[in-house]
Structure 1
């Protein structure tokens, strides 16, 4: 494969010799333009285009030069490729587009460029994950703001029922959780397993996330999974999480589907000390 180091003079020499095709590929279908786009070699990419390289060729995996440039955050090359007719619609084998790649890897300038050039904010991987979902999973707040401003659906779930808010909570991205809630995310959206964002954050002990969610008065009662966020916090063993939920009026006398109180799920004395005063008040 030519062009891995971006040696423009050598590239020109090879192409001008007529012995090397601008679209020569390796065994995986990787072209020189893809390599230049991935590596950020602007001048080499431009030379290949000028020499007639096919911008929209796809690798075996379905990736294009635009996909690679977007994934790596090379906005100048993204603009170059779009200027010469690169399509934003090509998909990889898992359904990923250039926009999906830029969102997953957190390149806001590339995301902005792609959206201005017709990229579809509603693209989805085969599992239903949208660009917004991918950005939420990785904690890319600026990308999320761009997507929401461009009409991304804040509550669109993956096929397993996981919404962007749930995923951001599960990953501990409190700033993303805050932005999604302010833009209308359903605070009580649950997955097919019945767990909510609050339940997941409580179980993992992500207290910054809990604080953001609690500002929006999520359900503190029994969820479809047969448990409460307080049960989750106790099982997670984080005293501060338990305290946050108790102060938000979570009920420690509410049993789960197995008729267990949160206090039945721990031997941690510090957690029990947080639960007991509320339990006594509840019984009095």
Structure 2
């Protein structure tokens, strides 16, 4: 199974819009949403199955046994995250605790235990297709580990389908790194703005640390001709293929609000995405 990952250097460039449209146009039977901080692909593709949900356990959290505690204050002094508070007794702020276990190490009374905690919720839709996604719990970290679990579920169909489309996270942080690992092609969505160009540079440099192929598409390209040309020249100088340029579609928001994609409406935007799909399959050396 070939894996196509759609990324963007910043939020709001049209990453999920492109991913959902590609899923519709290719008839993909395997896809995932790795934007675990704010997953929304299930809305864009109007998923109507009931998912199988499961808890994801990240790093453990410290728990202090007040009956064993001798109030030596070592745990509070050594906690670099200021997660231990003293009121009448010593308590742990579960949102601030990073699970490093230093407090447990320095406690002379053996009053601190590291206990598992749920940091995310995994959802798996599986019938004639597979859709893997997850959502990080509020205040939780280690989203890269949760992304890895999302991809593991997707890979259970690796011998059943030829291609999988993955909607990634914006930026260059841990969830993006986990998303890129093991994919065959990274499709970077950018826009003709100053911030769009700057963030595109960052995600290109990040992606180049992996063996995956890299390609770019420009969304809403006709809103600023000069910046579009700047993006094209940048990619040309670095031998990065541009798969296509999607024109601004004024009905995009209303389509998404209805659980539809740009692929559901005939017009220039759909035509551009069809060309992008053709380019993607070409880069994957699949039959076009």
1 or 2, which has the higher helix percentage?
Answer: 1
Q: Smaller-chain TM-score range? A: 0.3 to 0.5
Structure number with bigger Rg: 1
Determine which structure has greater relative contact order: mean sequence separation of CA pairs < 8 Å that are 6+ residues apart, divided by chain length. 2
1 or 2, which has the higher strand percentage?
Answer: 2
Q: TM-score if structure 2 supplies the norm length?
A: 0.32
Q: TM-score if structure 1 supplies the norm length?
A: 0.32
